[in-house]
Structure 1
Amino acid sequence: MPNSSSPPVLYTFPEVPQLQNSLANFILKAQTDAIAKRGSFTIALSGGSLPNNLKPLVGLEGIQWDKWQVFFADERIVPLDHEDSNYAACAKAFLDHVPIPREQVHAINTELFAESTLKDPTADPADQDASENEAIEIADEYEKQLVTCFASQGNAARYPTFDLILLGMGPDGHTCSLFPGHALLSDSDRWVAEILDSPKPPKRRITFTYQVLNHAFRCAFVAAGEGKQDTLSKILDQPEEGLPCSRVRPASPGLVFWFVDDAAAAKVKYPKTVFKWINETEMDASDDLVSEERKKMKTEMDAAVKAAS
């Protein structure tokens, strides 16, 4: 797994609305950079509380929805209108309220679902082998969607390089459907993998692996609330524990960011960075600001690692 040349950047905010608006500004910046360089913007979304944190994108000036290619960093093997679907959560929160072409939102292919999955997707399967094969086929097809999208953009790299992947943090430190101690943490062959034994229901899912997460230009975690305090502290202050979130370290020049509220960050000792609001006219200058923050954070992290060893 590649190592980032820079440690995570931690942004904290007094209240959730400030976090959400700043995150929208950050996404706008990432989009503007990507379109200027490559003519399109590739983004992957997650579920949980993340979709509701993206509501400020609706009506935000400067968003070029016709340039977006939207994927899902993980998805439950359920119909797209199911209450457990990450697609459904994101659609309800903002995708259904913006003018993005439907073909540019890449969902799992439900035509591959068995009749039993359509009828009761969260029930224990009667045929374990058939259930596994179904999940493998769904994961493989989603990986092919990645291949098709990135190949059409002239991306000949070994891995897809997302402009931005938005991630959540579970109470156990999981992200996507990559759970502590699970074999998928060491999967180095696939971009998209099936999981049949998720500790959280529903059990059957597909997920990006670190092969995708750690080749993105930007990964951004979003976490809020007192209930996140202990886990967030362990992830940022004790990365040697190896929780799944801690393992998201995009290869250079990739960056990983954390957007959290003060309640979630209350126990964190990791150094915080002040978020600099960026206007559209300041987009180019912001690269220098980020560069300076990266140098500062690298120096602090190198000192912390040296002291710990």
Structure 2
Amino acid sequence: MAGRRVVVFPSSVELGPVLAHLVTSRAEKAIVSHGRFTLGLSGGSLVSMLSKELLAMPDLDCSKWVVGFCDERLVSFDDPESTYGLYKSQLFSKVNIPDSGILTIDPSLSVNECAEDYTCKLKKAFPDDDFPVFDLLLLGMGPDGHTCSLFPEHPLLEETKKIVAPISDSPKPPPQRVTMTFPVVNSARSVAFVSTGGSKAAVLKEVLEGREGPALPAARVVPTNGELFWLVDEPAAASLTIQVERLVSGAKL
């Protein structure tokens, strides 16, 4: 696949700083190019890794960042399941990103209204694009191969028109969520998956090396005009037979 780089690190300890540098380098490039940096975030273990490593970067300037969420759970912001809530406490409250630069859901709405409201916020933030073109999306992958809140064999995998879709029957709790769709994900200038731990080894092999039957959701992330990174640690990469790059801390992408 053109443009895909699979990069393996000894452990997540070495991966983290390289991820943070990828974010800041793409931010600098975007700000020079078009005056701002648009970043889509995912939850899970990515929150603590990214927050820790970005805060360790010298002279971090987020004043021209616009941040959205690749998916979000329909819970209040003080709920421990809220991805925005976690980033607010661990990262946003400690950097100079303007409040107007953080695009959040409205958790007081029904799941359908919430998706429509978030669609409007993204359209306002990206007025010139049919589908929002983010400079960088950071994605995770579940042990079932899902990414964002796009789950295997779910009808949302075939969505082609909506920017943000509601989901009321998530197989992973909480059941109500909103998620970016594949047209948005695949419009991004850069996409980086972060996948660590031995529990991901089998599904990572399926996603990166192909499988019989329908492609898993994470395998359907193929940016149309962008770059695609898979940043993984040795335990997650244990079953791979494809050619990979191996980097250590201090390396740059």
| Alignment TM-score, normalising by the size of structure 2 | 0.94
SS in 2 for 1:206: strand
- Mapped partners of 1:218, 1:27: distance in 2: 10
Among 95, 117, 120, the alignment partner of 1:144 is 120
Preserved CA contact (<8 Å) 2:61 2:96: no
Match of 1:135 in 2: 111
Match of 2:11 in 1: 15
Match of 1:108 in 2: 105
- Mapped partners of 1:215, 1:207: distance in 2: 15
- Mapped partners of 1:213, 1:249: distance in 2: 8
Structure 2 residue 41 is the aligned partner of structure 1 residue 68: no
Cα 1:72–1:239 shift into 2, 3 Å:
farther
Preserved CA contact (<8 Å) 2:137 2:190: yes
Please identify, of 101-110 and 42-51, the stretch whose mean Cα deviation from structure 2 is larger: 101-110
Give matches, 1:275-290, under 5 Å.
275=247, 277-278=251-252
Q: Deviation at 1:273?
A: 2.1
- Mapped partners of 1:268, 1:93: distance in 2: 33
Match of 1:117 in 2: none
Q: Deviation at 1:10?
A: 0.5
SS in 2 for 1:11: strand
Post-superposition CA distance 1:72-108 (Å, at most 9, x none): 0000110011111111122233222222112211111
Match of 1:35 in 2: 31
Cα 1:220–1:170 shift into 2, 3 Å:
same
SS in 2 for 1:24: helix
Match of 1:198 in 2: 170
Post-superposition CA distance 1:138-179 (Å, at most 9, x none): 00110111111112xxxx232111000000000100000000
- Mapped partners of 2:101, 2:56: distance in 1: 19
Preserved CA contact (<8 Å) 1:164 1:219: yes
- Mapped partners of 1:262, 1:209: distance in 2: 30
SS in 1 for 2:126: helix
Letter in 2 for 1:196: S
Preserved CA contact (<8 Å) 1:71 1:107: yes
Letter in 1 for 2:29: D
Unaligned runs of 5+ in 2: none
Letter in 2 for 1:251: T
Give matches, 1:168-183, under 5 Å.
168-183=140-155
SS in 1 for 2:138: strand
Preserved CA contact (<8 Å) 1:34 1:163: yes
Greater share of residues in strand? 2
Match of 1:211 in 2: 183
Cα 1:274–1:32 shift into 2, 3 Å:
farther
RMSD between aligned residues: 1.6
Unaligned runs of 5+ in 1: 114-133, 279-289, 291-309
Post-superposition CA distance 1:18-52 (Å, at most 9, x none): 10001011111111110110010000100111111
Preserved CA contact (<8 Å) 1:164 1:216: yes
Give matches, 1:47-126, under 5 Å.
47-54=43-50, 55-110=52-107, 112-113=108-109
- Mapped partners of 1:29, 1:273: distance in 2: 19
| Alignment TM-score, normalising by the size of structure 1 | 0.77
- Mapped partners of 2:235, 2:195: distance in 1: 10
Q: Deviation at 1:265?
A: 0.4
Q: Deviation at 1:257?
A: 0.5
Aligned length: 249
Match of 2:134 in 1: 162
- Mapped partners of 1:68, 1:14: distance in 2: 31
- Mapped partners of 1:45, 1:239: distance in 2: 28
- Mapped partners of 2:4, 2:189: distance in 1: 13
The percent identity for this pair of structures is 39
